[in-house]
Structure 1
């Protein structure tokens, strides 16, 4: 009788140890970088356990079909393409070993549309940001006073400072703005 109990205990211990050892850990430190209006790069750290590969699933609340693909076990980044601006996506990554899977790790992404087709876009007056009246800050801008920035860049810097200052409610007991000119040497 004690031999059977000992054998059963050994089998139970072996089963528990095997399931603990075979547990598949998920990737970690999931991050997203927007590359353009339709593409996001996803990066992560490799799982600590041995895996056969990774499965990525991209879903949305819209009628778009679910995107699903697999990656090799050594992968630490991938690009997700053909995304629609202003649609919220849930991106899930799962590591697997045989039929075992890790817990899913997910992130939500939404790429806001920029309202332009290709190329670069300069800020428009309508893009100006206004801060709420309760926003109070002390702003100090450090400007390169040498002519190494060039006349056009200096105008751009001046416009930037003016736009930033205009976004706040300026006053003695409100937001204050300072500009400091940095120069090296006496030639200016």
Structure 2
């Protein structure tokens, strides 16, 4: 049985969910961002109990198919931008279509109707948030950040960064209080 969980956006989220599933003695096969696979079906009571537990931790057990698909799209984008270290070799639409086994135009329409923004804008927001993180760490040059985030050049990254944040990357880096956002609030 597969369960889809909203707001599961990092490794610590996976650990928190795993701990709760173990407490409930549920048979876990795998856990990844936004998704848990169990070796058996759950009773209505178990589902309700799990939903309540997850809600108390800031997660949400998704039961509608549309919500599940939106969360899968978000988790694939988050994983691609924040947790993969290799450069993406295919474009975003192909990546999502292949992973979700759905036509990209259908995914795009569903996402836009549900979230009020396009998948591309969500992807850009995630990339800019990752750029902010890398700027704050001050370990990479702007050129290295552009390469890591698969921008064609520094100017392209800088233009998108300014459009999203209102600041140039250099000005953002100089700010005393960096205005980073949590991934799940994007």
* Structure-1-length-normalised TM-score: 0.26
Specify which structure has the higher proportion of strand. Answer: 1
